Amino acid sequence: MTLINEVYRQPLDPGYQDVAARRAAGAAPPRTIRGGAALLVLAVLLGAFATTSAVALRRPAPAALEARALLEAEIREGTARADELRHANAAVSAQIAQLQGDAASTDDPELFAQLQRDAVAAGVVPVAGPGLRLVLTDGDPSDGTAPDDGSELVQDADLQVLVNGLWAAGAEAVTINGERLTSTTAIRSAGDAVLVDSTALSSPYTVEAIGDAATMQTRLARMSAGQHLASLAQYGIEVRVSAQQELLLAGRGQLTLRSAQVLGAPAPDAESADGADDASSAATAPDEQVLGARSPDVAGSGRHDGEESR
């Protein structure tokens, strides 16, 4: 308590009092020019120091800024590299498709046609045709038309339900923001964004599906997916559906199967030595692969229906 009393009762530097007393007694030291100059220099230095400190404190710490800039640069660099690799991948895939086409169309037109159909179903090659375009836009909580608790954002489940509905309605190829969906595509959430495979997408989400637009629209409206889309309006999510005369959907590029084995297919190293006879069995094998791969989609749509009824 003594300490606090002392601090509180005598906040003024006792020096002021001492000097005043000495001056009153006539014992104050005389002022000199040199002393005045020293005081001036000291005052300038102290003022500059205090101002500099205050200014420096108002700036954000340079270390934090540096780290942030570094991370930003790394992210930009990584994204650029990923884009570059994706472009290279697409170019090589196109080349592979071209070479395969050249080889098969001259040797075996039937096999080439089969290959083309399978490539479309597998989502490997770009396709064009009439279809539906659906644009889902996140709700905007700022104008009060949407809740501000995260439910105004388009969720991965919304896109899953929509895509499954489109497949079930007869879509032949589907993209989300230009990402072609294949049999191995995953749609999931990561924070506010939706990941399609490993590509982060953000609102607005444009889902394009090639197929008969009128039929798909009618079937979609009758399915639970249609009801799901309609129910999104209460979260402020805008869904616009439009029929398109001509859609161009990008291909996924060459798919690499890591674990799946094609039933009845010859071993990869024996394939080169195969004659025309084996080629027909190889031609049916991708069909099985595609059928087998597509069935999870159908199963998936059933699962989502189940989830909705919960």
Residue 44 interacts with other proteins (CB under 8 A): yes or no: yes
33 lies in the binding site for other proteins (CB under 8 A): no
Paired tokens of 267: 């071993």
Tell me the C-alpha distance between 210 and 309, whole Å.
28
Q: Residue 63, interface with other proteins (CB under 8 A)?
A: yes
Q: Which stretch binds other proteins (CB under 8 A): 6-14, 141-149, 288-296, 302-310?
A: 6-14
Per the CB < 8 A criterion, the answer to whether 232 and 239 are in contact is: yes
Min CB(10)–other proteins separation in Å = 9
Q: Is 64 in the site for other proteins (CB under 8 A)?
A: no
Question: According to the binding rule CB under 8 A, does residue 57 interact with other proteins?
Answer: yes
Tell me if 53 contacts other proteins by CB under 8 A.
Answer: yes
- Residue 47 found at the interface with other proteins (CB under 8 A): yes
DSSP type of residue 136: E
Residue 42 interacting with other proteins (CB under 8 A): yes
CA-based nearest residue to 179, from 300, 77, 86, 79: 86
- Nearest to residue 134, comparing CAs of 27, 220, 66, 69? 220
CA distances (Å), 42 to each of 47, 112, 260, in order?
Answer: 9, 90, 81
Which range, of 17-25, 81-89, 241-249, 287-295, touches other proteins by CB under 8 A?
Answer: 17-25
How many residues bind to other proteins according to rule CB under 8 A?
Answer: 37
Return the residue of 2, 30, 34, 46 that touches other proteins, per CB under 8 A.
46
Give 179's DSSP letter.
E
The single-letter code of the amino acid at 147 is P
- Concatenate the DSSP letters of all residues of 3-20 into one string: HHHHHHH--S-HHHHHHH
Select from 41-49, 131-139, 161-169, 193-201 the region that touches other proteins (CB under 8 A): 41-49
CA dist., res. 45 & res. 205, Å (int): 60
Taking CB under 8 A as the criterion, the residue among 62, 144, 268, 275 binding other proteins is 62
Minimum Å distance from CB 67 to other proteins?
13
* Positions 264 through 293 that interact with other proteins (CB under 8 A): none
As beta bridge partners, residue 205 has 136
Those residues with Cβ within 8 angstroms of residue 180's Cβ, 6 or more apart along the chain or in another chain: 123, 173, 174, 249, 250, 251, 252
Among 54, 263, 267, 273, binds other proteins (CB under 8 A): 54
Which of 26, 32, 34, 56 contacts other proteins by CB under 8 A? 56
Residues forming contacts to other proteins in the complex (CB under 8 A) are 4, 7-9, 11-13, 15-17, 19-20, 23, 35-36, 39-57, 61-63
